[in-house]
Amino acid sequence: MMYPLKFKPYLCEKVWGGEKIAPFKGIFTTRNRIGESWEISAVPGHVSVVDNGPLAGKSLTDIMISNGVELAGKKVIEKTGTEFPLLIKFIDAKSDLSVQVHPTDELAARTNPGQKGKTEMWYVVGADKGAKLLSGLTQEITPEEYEEKVQDNTITDVLGRYEVHPGDVFFLPAGRIHAIGAGSFVAEIQQTSDITYRIYDYGRLGLDGKPRELHLEKAKEAIDYTVFPDYRTDYVPKKNAETRLVSCKYFTTSLFDIDKPVSKNLSALDSFVVVMCVAGKGELVDNEGDGSVHRLEIRQGETVLVPATSSTIEFHPDGAMTCLTSFIE
C-alpha cells in the first residue's frame, strides 16, 4: 500500500519574485527573487522528487508509471493517463506579473501537440496592503480591439481589478485573461501544463536583461471574450468543517479552517488528495484501506500527496491550522 508523500520543492527565480516563500516554507536559501515554489509537478524537466519514506529519491512520474492506480486512483488514471494531472504552486509576487492567458485543452492540442491546456485557481494566502489581482474583462472587446489595446498599452484598463485579502479565491478557466499583482502571495492549483501566452509585460526586462517574449497572436485566439459581472469566487467559510471552494472537471478544492480534529472520508473517492497547509501546523493521519495508519507532521508551507488507497484522513491541529485539499471527482 502507498503512504502520504512529501516532495522536494522546486524553487523558481523570477524577475518579479519576492522574498516571502523561503520563510513561509521554513527553508533556508541564498537565492533571491524566488517567485514560485513548485510543490507537486509532473511537468517535464521539473518533475517532483519524493522527500520522505521508502520512496525518497524517486520521481513522481516513475511512481505514477509503476504504482499509478494506488497513488492517483483507477478513475483518475482512466481519465487523465499516467501523467500526474495537477501542478501545485505557491507564488510570491514582489512586483506585477505579466498579463497572460492560457489555452483550453483543444487549443493546446492544436498549437502545442501533446500538451494540455491550463485551468487554474488562486487562493490568497497573504497580501500586502492594497495588493491587487487582475481577472477577466470588464467590457466587451473584439479580437481587433484587443490588439489595439495591447499596442497602445491600455489593455489593463478593461480588466477586472480586485484588491485582495487572505482567503480570497479566484477561479480561472482556460481563456480568462489574468495577472497576479505586486504584494500578492497565493496558492495555485492547476492542470499539469506550463503553457502561458504572455500579453503585456509592462516593458520590463527578463533575468537575462532582454525583453520577455510576448505571444499576442496565440493569446488572441485563446482569450474568452465573454464578460461576467464578477470574477471573485464567493464562499461562506465554515469553522471545523469542509468548505467547498471550486469544483470543475479538472479539480475540486476545499478549505479546512480548524482548531479541533476533523476527518474526511475518502473511501468512495478513488482519487489522490493534495493537502496544502497555508497556516498553522498539526498532524495529518492517513488511514489506509488495509488498516495501516501513517502519521506525519504538516506545517505552514508544506504540501502532502495522500494516495488514493487512503480510506480517511484526519487533521489534528496544533492550536489552529488551515489547509486546502484538492482531488479529482
Residues classed as catalytic: 198
C-alpha cell of residue 263: 476527518
Specify the residue for cell string 486512483: 73
* Long-range own/partner contacts, residues 73-76 (CB < 8 A, 24 or more apart): 73/269, 73/270, 73/271, 73/272, 73/308, 73/328, 74/270, 74/308, 75/270, 75/271, 75/328, 76/270, 76/271, 76/272, 76/308, 76/328
Our CA dihedral for 179, 182, 188, 193, rounded to 10 degrees, sits at: 50
E strand or H helix that includes residue 220: helix 216-222
Task: Give the number of other Cβ atoms within 10 Å of residue 98's Cβ.
Answer: 18
E strand or H helix that includes residue 178: strand 178-180
293-299/310-327 β-pairing: unpaired
Task: Give the number of other Cβ atoms within 10 Å of residue 245's Cβ.
Answer: 22
d(CA 143, CA 145): 5
d(CA 284, CA 275): 9
C-alpha cell of residue 311: 480510506
Please give the C-alpha separations between residue 80 and each of 5, 84, 102, 280, 328, in angstroms, as whole numbers. Answer: 20, 8, 19, 33, 10
